[in-house]
Amino acid sequence: MAETMNAPTRATLERWRARMHDELHKSVIPFWMRHSLDREFGGYFNCLDRDGRRFDTKKHVWLQGRQVWMLSKLFNADRSSADLLEAATLGAKFLREHARRPDDQVYFCLARDGKPLTLQRKMYAACFYVMAFAEYARATGDASYRALALSQFDAILRWVDDPTPLGKPKLAGNVATSELAVPMILLNLVAELRGAPGSPTFHDRSDYDAIEQRCVAAIRRHHRPERGLVFETISADGKLLDSPEGRLINPGHVIECGWFLLDYARRTNDSKLRDEALAMIRGALDFGWDREFGGILYFLDSEGFSPQQLEWPMKLWWPHCEAIVALLMAWRDTSDASWFARFEQVADWTFAHFPDAEHGEWYGYLDRRGAVSQRFKGGPYKGCFHVPRALWLCERELAAALAAH
Amino acid sequence: MAETMNAPTRATLERWRARMHDELHKSVIPFWMRHSLDREFGGYFNCLDRDGRRFDTKKHVWLQGRQVWMLSKLFNADRSSADLLEAATLGAKFLREHARRPDDQVYFCLARDGKPLTLQRKMYAACFYVMAFAEYARATGDASYRALALSQFDAILRWVDDPTPLGKPKLAGNVATSELAVPMILLNLVAELRGAPGSPTFHDRSDYDAIEQRCVAAIRRHHRPERGLVFETISADGKLLDSPEGRLINPGHVIECGWFLLDYARRTNDSKLRDEALAMIRGALDFGWDREFGGILYFLDSEGFSPQQLEWPMKLWWPHCEAIVALLMAWRDTSDASWFARFEQVADWTFAHFPDAEHGEWYGYLDRRGAVSQRFKGGPYKGCFHVPRALWLCERELAAALAAH
């Protein structure tokens, strides 16, 4: 967009803030509070149809952990809602009792009663366990949860260096690679363990700075500024790989990573890193925005081949959630109104297509044209997380902008 | 369709036969012969873009085995093409050298040079290894390949009874289930090991009859005639499961299973089984046919929930391939012209949407409206198999019908 942008008016900011607030507190959180709590066995039902009806009783650990985190976070914001804390406790106790094995691996999916169903040979379930307990410990002051988070975090750090215990065999043809997801989620985990500035947390680890610096360096190796692209998978020595995995671009992931970096750059006053994060966000949005139907495409191949993922052209809720957060942060960090215009472009499309005014919460899976493809509100990978986190963070950004206006 | 159908005319049958023949020999097989043969390392490139250009050099074992099988099958039909046999040999030697481990597990994916890349904790790669070597042994008379097929088949039979060696852990919440895919592929494997009646094969196993009977009984337990549905996953004791897995309907899979049963019923003159297979095919097509845009939907939930598979509304090549085979067989087995009408409905949609007249072969992945979603001709799950097998079987059915006309 070449033309000079006008800065958003106070009324515009107020309107967006009210929209974020209302969507969060009148539609999204009520949906989960009404339909997801399992008072019989603990934990949350996370497979919920459009109207909240359960279509499965499985409990996916990513989403159990993320919901504990989200509810604790919202409770911690003003510590006024006993309902939120009680709901967070329901999930935290269930996770504590059932999710983790003696060898520190965390199950991917549990039965309603907590019996294990599946174990992935990956570390992500463990990451959401850490997030959950770090924030829940802050909500309750119960240091035993904090200790569980920290010991699990140590296991994750060990797996980053040597994933053998996760059980995925190393075969003769495998080349060592670096996955964007790993430094990205670690960077976010450290931010969560640190807690918000001034929050009642425990800044007791001397190695946080070093871990963060290592993560930022690792993320930057995935960025090719001259192409405006961040690659999901590169070789361990930092080279691009000419294969579908090596050419894979996941714009939503890059945009989410971008705001993790913006957040870190804010805390460390690193304007060079901020500018690189802005370039990553801009590049991902330029590459991933669907000029034909609007919205952010899910997967692309950097060289224009068809992605192997059958769902590549779909519009998923979470890249749009991450984009509205990233764009508001980019605008606040630069005072450049073109970022706000970009925010409004994405937010308008997002609010026009994802929310379900009738039953609350947002649809997760739209086809390329923006029609609902999967009507459920919660499933194995969608729960009480990206939507409320984005609404909460957007409201916070807008409130800060208004305060400074 | 209630109205009385007219039997197809001789000219109609001739026209379809010519179409199947030309598509197979002028478009599909030439594509693979031109683009897939790796004369440097052996085996086949199976990741091929629309125009045959390689977008990856990985070699997926399902597709290596299937291509060996298909080329051997076509060679065996008239034993005239030295090129086909030579191409089959390229794949057979590569598979023999690289695919199987000392413990009988078969890799899922190999690097170009044959080094192992991935191993699934499933038995399907091993099944295509058996198919390949059974037919290749018939093509060459080389009994060592036959011996490899039989020893691998024995390993598969052991895994059916006890999958522990495949390495998937059994967790406390898991309930024992029966998967349609297992008896279905075993039934097909026995047919392949037996070989076509009169072919130079080795009917040396006394247990084929018993295995087939066990498979047929197992498949029938997945069928609920009163609902017209065949469920992919049921409990080990034959009950429906109220979960997304338990409600999953894969119409293409049921239709493919249907013609495996028709083939078996022909060989055993079992008219009761034939009628059940016809009911399965009819039910799957009624349930899976997309009344809005045409074509067969990929996945459905028996109770109308949204399937969790993001690709559920896509139109994939293979269910359509299996359907045209099944419908021609159904027509030949019943002389009921309504089956031929159904064949023409599906075949018309299939030929209008999948073939690529410019570069040969068929597209594999269309969106719900029938537009090309993935332009590649070969990928991790699509190779030289469903399209040529269907064209070859359809031509055979039509030739038999014409001979009897």
What is the pLDDT of chain B when averaged over all its residues? 96
Per-residue pLDDT tens over the stretch A337-360: 999 999 999 999 999 999 999 999
Q: Quick: pLDDT tens for B265-321.
A: 999 999 999 999 999 999 999 999 999 999 999 999 999 999 999 999 999 999 999
| Residue B156 near residue B123, CB atoms below 8 Å | yes
Domain range B38-174, CATH class = mainly alpha
> Are A243 and B111 inside 8 Å of each other by CB?
no
Average pLDDT rounded to a whole number, residues A49-63: 98
Inter-chain contact A375–B306, Cβ cutoff 8 Å?
yes
Give the confidence band of A169 by pLDDT, cuts at 50, 70, 90: confident
Which tokens is B40 given?
A: 């440097």
- Mean pLDDT of chain A, nearest integer: 96
Would you state the pLDDT for residue B5? 76
Q: Are A255 and A319 in contact (CB under 8 A)?
A: yes
CA-nearest residue to B382 within chain A is A308
Would the CATH topology of A38-174 be identical to that of A176-374? yes
Nearest CA in chain A to B378: A308
Question: DSSP state, A116?
Answer: E
pLDDT bin (cut points 50, 70, 90) of residue A260 is very high
Give CA–CA dist A57/A112, Å, rounded: 5
Region A357-376: what's the mean pLDDT?
98
> Which residues of chain B lie closer than 8 angstroms to A314, CB-CB?
310
Higher per-residue pLDDT: B195 or B118? B118
Q: Considering only CA atoms, which of A37, A65, A51 is closest in space to residue A385?
A: A65
Kindly state the average pLDDT of the residues A10-27.
Answer: 98
Cα–Cα distance between A75 and A199 in angstroms, integer?
A: 13
Using CA atoms, how far apart are residues A85 and A68, in angstroms rounded to an integer? 9
Query: What is the SS3 string spanning B122-157?
Result: CCHHHHHHHHHHHHHHHHHCCHHHHHHHHHHHHHHH
Identify the helix (H) or strand (E) that includes residue B309. none
Identify which of A49, A171, A365 has the shortest CB distance to residue B310: A365
B→A contacts (Cβ < 8 Å), by residue, are 47, 49, 55-58, 107, 110-111, 113, 115-119, 169, 171-174, 243-244, 301, 305-308, 310-314, 365, 367-368, 373-376, 379-380
Both tokens of B327, joined, read 């419908």
Residue B85 has pLDDT above 60, yes or no: yes
Which residues are bridge partners to B37 per DSSP? B44
How far is B378 from B362, CA to CA, in rounded Å? Answer: 9
Residue A199 banded pLDDT, cuts 50, 70, 90: low
Q: For residue A310, which residues of chain B lie inside 8 Å, CB to CB?
A: 310-311, 314, 365, 373-374
Structural domain spans, chain A:
38-174, 176-374
Closest by Cβ to B49, choosing from A47, A305, A314: A305
* A302 contacts: CB under 8 Å, gap ≥ 6: A227, A229, A231, A247, A248, A249
**Rounded-to-integer distance, Cα A142 and Cα A115, Å:** 25
Residue A314 has pLDDT above 90, yes or no: yes
pLDDT for A5 equals 76
Topology of the domain covering B176-374: Glycosyltransferase (1.50.10)
pLDDT reading at A201 higher than 60? no
Element at A117 (helix H, strand E): strand A116-118
Beta strands, E only, A239-350: 248-249, 300-301, 315-316
Alpha helices in B79-123 (DSSP H): 82-98
List of chain A residues whose C-beta atoms are within 8 Å of the C-beta of residue B117: 171, 173-174
User: Cβ–Cβ of A171/B116 closer than 8 Å?
Assistant: yes
Of A351, A322, A168, A173, which Cα lies nearest the Cα of A255? Answer: A322
pLDDT at A277: 98
**pLDDT reading at B3 higher than 50:** no
Does the pLDDT at position B204 exceed 80? no
**pLDDT of A202:** 57
Cβ-Cβ contacts under 8 Å for A329 (sequence gap 6 or more): A259, A262, A263, A397
In degrees, rounded to 5, the angle at the alpha carbon of residue A18 between the alpha carbons of residues A17 and A21 is 85
Rounded to an integer, what distance in angstroms lies between the CA atom of residue A55 and that of residue B244?
7
Say which of B115, B173, B305 has its CB closest to residue A116: B173
Place of tokens 């290596």: B64
Using an 8 Å CB-CB cutoff, list residues of chain A that contact chain B.
47, 49, 55-58, 107, 110-111, 113, 115-119, 169, 171-174, 243-244, 305-308, 310-314, 365, 367-368, 373-376, 379-380
Q: What pLDDT score does B375 carry?
A: 98
- Would you say A265 and A274 are in contact if contact means Cβ atoms under 8 Å apart? yes
SS3 assignment, position A212:
helix
Residue with tokens 């366990």: A129
Q: Considering CB atoms only, which of B47, B305, B310 is closest to A310?
A: B310
Q: How many CB atoms lie within 10 A of CB A401?
A: 19
Res B1 pLDDT > 60: no
Average pLDDT (B94-120) is 98
Kindly state the average pLDDT of the residues B164-168. 93
What is the mean pLDDT of the segment spanning A224-241? Answer: 98
Predicted local confidence at residue B76, as pLDDT: 96
The answer to whether the CB of A65 falls within 8 A of the CB of A107 is no
Q: Which of A361, A358, A293 is nearest to A321 (CA)?
A: A361
What pLDDT score does B107 carry? 98
What is the predicted pLDDT for the residue at A58?
A: 98
Which residue out of A305, A317, A356, A369 would a mutagenesis test of the B interface target, given it has the greatest number of B Cβ atoms within 10 Å? A305
pLDDT the model gives residue B200: 55
Please give the ipTM for the structure prediction.
Answer: 0.95
- Top residue of B41, B48, B55, B119 to mutate, by most chain A CBs within 10 Å, is B55
A–B CB contacts, 8 A cutoff, strictly below: 92
Residue with tokens 């995935």: A222
Q: Residue B158 and residue B164: Cα distance in Å, rounded?
A: 10
Number of C-beta neighbours around residue B171 at 10 A: 15
Distance CA A392, CA A396 (A): 6
pLDDT for residue A403:
97
Residues with Cβ within 8 Å of residue A275, at least 6 apart in sequence: none
d(CA A269, CA B339): 72
Option in A56, A107, A174 nearest B243 (CB): A56
pLDDT at position B2 = 42
Distance from CA of B374 to the nearest CA of A (A): 5
Name the residue facing B169 among A119, A313, A373 (closest C-beta). Answer: A119
B-chain residues near A367 (CB < 8 A): 313, 367-368
Contact call for residues B285 and B251 (beta carbons, < 8 A): yes
> Is A379 close to B111, i.e. CB distance below 8 A?
no
Residues B371, B363: Cα–Cα separation, whole Å = 10
- B95 pLDDT above the threshold of 80: yes
Q: How far is CA B177 from CA A47, A261, B280, in A?
A: 21, 46, 21
Instruction: With cut-offs at 50, 70 and 90, classify the pLDDT of residue B330.
Output: very high
